[in-house]
Structure 1
């Protein structure tokens, strides 16, 4: 029995070690826009040249957060590899679930911070339109990253090739269809996760107010 458990733990560790570099790197990319969003949109700052460069950087890195939704293909590949049901249920699925939820939470909070900034600037009427535009641009970024294999920094290192690929790609039906589906998925998931976040924030605020009043 002890030997069997040791074998099981060794396999579990190997599985975790196999994908931890990929997960760590993608989470790092996903949390860059989150950090930028707090610096750009939650603090009182003048819209200087540096601020606008930060906004462009924020938009460039933002698709990396919802991009992890497509990393489910790696989970599928690992499941097909032939690991036992226990490894799949207790190691792979929890690992990738936590990974995807963490990255999409980073995306949600980042976009919420944009809305907070617009509200603070008395531009609340533009929040919904801005969210939709952000989701659309993120969907395009996800397609370029997953299928065209472009990276965020390609906007700087090879902008002509990137723009040329965009014009050549998005005149075809399949890329447009995939991007539209991605946009719908991101929009729906964002709305759901946003409601959860706002609900938790409201609950915390009510709890604090209750404590102060006592």
Structure 2
């Protein structure tokens, strides 16, 4: 049994070592969204705007985890036993992908909450669409161009030139557009589920307080 577990751990590190790192990158905008959008003060200082820029630079890392399904596909084609695939690969990969995307959903919901608080409710849907578009672009640049969030600081000119080139080239533009549509649809579904769970939790909380 120890040998099986040791082999499983080795296989996981080889094929799935990205999970911890990518979840960490997704966690950054998730945590920043609470500071930006959920704190009591609605003032926007210079530090707030700098944090806002960092938030958007890292935000595509959360939905980017959706594309990591390719690692699971590769693992299933590598000839590993059903035991390793069923008990290690599939659960951990699905956990990482779903957790990362849920962090994206909550981050965008926090953004909408903030807009409502400052009297800009009519811009919530537009901000969500714009966010999906920027993240679809970020996902493409990360997956196919292999750029990272910090390249926006390390090499902004090169990132800008390549981005503009891809946006004006047919194939990359189509991929980005399809990614945008997929991201928008998946976000809408996850948003309904998340809001439904929040509503259910509040109802249960209210009933508990009533009984107390």
Q: If the length of structure 2 is used for normalisation, what is the TM-score?
A: 0.94
- Alignment partner, residue 18 of structure 1: 14
* Residue number in structure 1 paired with 2:83: 86
Segments of structure 1 that go 5 or more residues without pairing to the other structure are none
Map of 1:149 onto structure 2 = 146
Secondary structure, aligned partner of 1:150: coil
**Could you list the runs of 5+ residues in structure 2 that have no partner in the other structure?**
none
Q: Is the 8 A contact 2:15 2:75 kept in 1?
A: no
Q: For residues 138 and 88 of structure 2, what CA distance do their matches in structure 1 show?
A: 30
Q: CA–CA distance in 2 between the matches of 1:20 and 1:146?
A: 16
Match of 1:83, SS state, is coil
Q: Take 2:196 and 2:166, find their aligned partners in 1: how far apart are those partners?
A: 40
Hey, what does 1:41 align to over in structure 2?
37
Which of 103, 107, 119 is residue 104 of structure 2 equivalent to? Answer: 107
Whole-angstrom distance in 1 between the partners of 2:179 and 2:192: 20
1:6-57 CA-to-partner distances (Å, cap 9, x unmatched) read 4433332222232453111100000100000000000024111110111111
SS where residue 90 of structure 1 aligns? helix
Residue in structure 2 matched with residue 116 of structure 1 by the alignment: 113
Q: Distance in 2 between matches of 1:151 and 1:170?
A: 18
Alignment match, 1:174:
171
Structure 2 Cα separation of the partners of residues 208 and 74 of structure 1: 40
2:127 matched residue in structure 1? 130
Report if aligned partners of 2:16, 2:71 keep a CA contact under 8 Å in 1. Answer: no
C-alpha distance in 2 between matches for 1:71 and 1:168: 25
Distance 1:211 1:177 in 2: 51
Once the two structures are superposed, what CA deviation does each residue of 1:152-184 show, in whole Å capped at 9, x if it has no partner? 111111111111101111111111111111111
* CA RMSD in angstroms, aligned pairs only: 1.3
For these two proteins, the number of residue pairs brought into alignment is: 210
Greater than 6 Å deviation, 4+ residue runs: none
Q: Separation in 1 of the partners of 2:135 and 2:197?
A: 26
- What is the rounded CA distance, in whole Å, between the counterparts of 2:71 and 2:16 in structure 1? 12
